[in-house]
C-alpha cells in the first residue's frame, strides 16, 4: 500500500509555536504512522503555485524552539478571492479549484492548516470542497472562541511582561509616564495578561472604552502618593468612550484588511496637553517584537500537543476538525463551528477584577483607595 501523504501550510501572521507544531506533527506522522509529508510555502500561495518542500526528520530537526515558520507565511492569499493579473489588469477570482487540482496531482491525502480565523475560514471552505482538512489554532491574539488557548499568546505575554519590567526602571528614574502599545486586534488579552504580569498601572482594552479624564485621575492619584511615574499598557484596538479605534493602515488584499496602530502616540500627545507640565510622556510601540524570537516553554508544549494530536486525528480520519484545548484537555471541534466568533475579554471577568483589586485603572472610572 502506498504511504499516506500529508501536506502542511502556515497562514496569516506568524506566531511563535508554528515551528513546534510542524516539528511534532512531522515527527509523529513519520515515526508513529510512517506517513510522507510536504510543506506548502507561504501559506495558501504555495498551494496555488504548487510550491512545496518535503518535510523530513532532517528538515525539522532543531526547530522546536524557534519562532517564525520554516514554511513561511502570508496573510494576503485567500484563494477563494485571489488577486490575479488578466490582460494586464488585476482582478479577484476564486482559484480554489487550482489548489484542489494541485493536491490531487501530488497525491495528498490530508491537509493540515495552521492559522487564525482568516486562514481557518479557507480551511473550512476547502473541507467543504471535499479536501481532508485538519485545522490547528494559531494567533498571538488568543481570540478564537473554540479553544481556550492559541499558541503564540503566551510568548507574546512574556515579551510584553519583560518589556514592562525594563520600562519601569527608566520611567521611575525620570518620573515619566510611558504609554506602551501592544498587539491583539479587537481583543485585549495581550494587554490584560501582559499588563497584570508586568505591573501596569493603567490598562486600556478594546472591550472597556476609557476616558482621558479617568486616565489623568489615576496618574494624579499616583502622584499624590509619591509614585511619580506611571506605566500605561494600551491595546492597539482600545478606544475612548464614544470614539473610534486608531487605524494605522489598510492592507487591501488581506482577509482582515484593517491594521490597527498609533494609539500610544495619540494618547501621549493628549496627555502632554493635559499634564505635560508635571510629566514627560513617552510612547513605546512593541509591535512585531511580540511575534518574534524564541517560543516560550508553555507555547512549545501547547504546540507539541496540537501537532501530535493532529497526527492522531489524521490516523483516525477525523477530518473537517480543528484541534483545541478546553478545560486543559486536548480535543477537537468541527471547523464549521470555529469561524467568525471572536473571544473577547469579559469586562466583568476574573482577571479584570484581580487587576481592579490591585488598584489598576481601566480608564472607565475613577480609582479610589481606602487608607
Ligand atoms: O493577528 C496577529 C497580529 O499580530 C495582530 O495582533 C496585529 O494587529 C496584526 O497581526 C498585525 O499584522 P501585520 O503583521 O500584517 O502587521
Q: Pick from 318, 305, 308, 306: which is nearest to 31 by CA?
A: 308
Write down the pLDDT at residue 181: 99
184 and 310 housed in the same domain: no
Ligand 1: does its nearest atom lie under 6 Å from the Cβ of 4?
Answer: no
Give burial (CB, 10 Å; 0-12/13-18/19+) of 273.
exposed
10 and 56 housed in the same domain: yes
> What is the number of structural domains in the chain?
2
Distance (angstroms) between ligand 1 centre and the Cα of 12 equals 9
Given ligand 1 and candidates 10, 11, 13, 189, which is best to mutate, with the most ligand atoms within 8 Å of its CB? 13
Quote the CA–CA distance of 178 and 209 in Å, as a whole number.
19
Instruction: With beta carbons less than 8 A apart as the criterion, state whether 63 and 22 touch.
Output: yes
User: Of all protein residues, whose CA lies closest to atom 16 belonging to ligand 1?
Assistant: 259
244 and 353 housed in the same domain: yes
Question: 315 is written with which cell numbers?
Answer: 490516523
Question: 97 is written with which cell numbers?
Answer: 479549484
Write down the pLDDT at residue 215: 98
**Residue range of the domain that includes 147:** 5-151+295-337
Given ligand 1 and candidates 185, 257, 260, 263, which is best to mutate, with the most ligand atoms within 8 Å of its CB? 185
How do 321-326 and 329-334 pair as beta strands? antiparallel
Distance (angstroms) between ligand 1 centre and the Cα of 299 equals 18
**Is there a domain that residue 363 lies in?**
no
Would you say the pTM of this structure is higher than 0.85?
yes
User: What one-character-per-residue DSSP string does 259-287 give?
Assistant: EE--HHHHHHHHHHHHHTTT--EEEEE-G
**Is there a domain that residue 365 lies in?**
no
Quote the CA–CA distance of 132 and 318 in Å, as a whole number.
9
Quote the CA–CA distance of 123 and 24 in Å, as a whole number.
20
Ligand 1: does its nearest atom lie under 6 Å from the Cβ of 75?
Answer: yes
Residue 3: count of CB within 10 angstroms of its CB: 13
Instruction: Kindly give the confidence (pLDDT) of every residue in the chain, 371 residues in length, as a single tens digit, with 9 standing for 90 and above.
Output: 789 999 999 999 999 999 999 999 999 999 999 999 999 999 999 999 999 999 999 999 999 999 999 999 998 899 999 999 999 999 999 999 999 999 999 999 999 999 999 999 999 999 999 999 999 999 999 999 999 999 999 999 999 999 999 999 999 999 999 999 999 999 999 999 999 999 999 999 999 999 999 999 999 999 999 999 999 999 999 999 999 999 999 998 788 899 999 999 999 999 999 999 999 999 999 999 999 999 999 999 999 999 999 999 999 999 999 999 999 999 999 999 999 889 999 999 999 999 999 999 999 999 998 87
Distance (angstroms) between ligand 1 centre and the Cα of 240 equals 21
Amino acid at each position: 500500500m502506498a504511504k499516506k501523504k500529508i501536506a502542511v501550510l502556515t497562514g496569516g501572521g506568524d506566531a511563535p509555536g508554528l515551528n513546534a507544531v510542524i516539528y511534532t506533527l512531522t515527527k509523529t506522522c513519520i515515526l508513529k504512522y510512517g506517513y510522507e509529508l510536504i510543506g506548502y510555502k507561504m501559506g495558501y500561495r504555495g498551494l496555488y503555485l504548487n510550491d512545496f518542500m518535503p518535510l523530513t526528520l532532517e528538515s525539522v530537526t532543531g526547530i522546536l524552539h524557534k519562532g517564525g515558520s520554516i514554511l513561511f507565511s502570508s496573510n494576503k492569499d485567500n484563494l477563494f478571492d485571489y488577486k490575479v493579473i488578466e490582460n494586464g489588469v488585476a482582478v479577484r477570482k476564486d482559484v480554489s479549484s487550482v489548489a484542489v487540482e494541485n493536491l490531487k496531482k501530488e497525491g495528498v491525502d490530508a491537509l493540515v492548516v495552521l492559522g487564525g480565523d482568516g486562514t481557518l475560514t479557507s480551511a473550512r471552505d476547502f473541507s467543504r470542497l471535499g479536501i481532508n482538512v485538519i485545522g490547528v489554532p494559531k494567533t498571538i491574539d488568543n481570540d478564537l472562541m473554540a479553544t481556550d488557548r492559541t499558541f503564540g499568546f503566551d510568548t507574546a505575554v512574556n515579551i510584553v511582561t519583560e518589556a514592562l519590567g525594563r520600562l519601569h526602571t527608566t520611567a521611575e528614574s525620570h518620573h515619566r509616564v510611558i504609554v506602551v502599545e501592544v498587539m491583539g486586534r479587537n481583543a485585549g488579552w495581550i494587554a490584560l495578561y501582559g499588563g497584570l504580569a508586568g505591573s501596569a498601572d493603567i490598562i486600556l482594552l478594546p472591550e472597556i472604552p476609557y476616558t482621558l479624564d479617568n486616565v489623568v485621575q489615576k496618574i494624579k492619584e499616583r502622584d499624590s502618593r509619591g509614585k511619580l511615574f506611571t506605566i500605561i499598557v494600551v491595546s492597539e484596538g482600545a478606544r475612548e468612550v464614544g470614539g473610534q479605534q486608531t487605524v494605522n493602515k489598510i492592507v487591501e488584499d488581506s482577509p482582515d484588511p484593517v491594521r490597527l496602530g498609533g494609539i500610544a502616540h495619540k494618547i501621549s500627545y493628549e496627555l502632554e496637553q493635559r499634564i505635560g507640565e508635571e510629566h514627560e510622556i513617552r510612547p513605546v510601540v512593541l509591535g512585531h517584537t511580540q511575534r518574534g524570537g524564541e517560543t516560550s516553554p508553555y507555547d512549545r508544549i501547547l504546540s507539541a500537543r496540537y501537532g501530535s494530536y493532529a497526527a492522531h486525528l489524521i490516523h483516525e480520519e477525523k477530518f473537517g476538525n480543528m484541534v483545541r484545548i478546553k478545560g486543559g484537555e486536548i480535543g477537537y471541534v468541527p471547523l464549521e463551528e470555529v469561524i467568525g466568533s471572536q473571544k473577547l475579554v469579559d469586562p466583568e471577568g476574573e482577571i479584570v477584577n484581580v487587576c481592579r483589586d490591585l488598584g489598576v485603572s481601566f480608564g472607565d472610572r475613577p480609582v479610589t483607595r481606602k487608607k
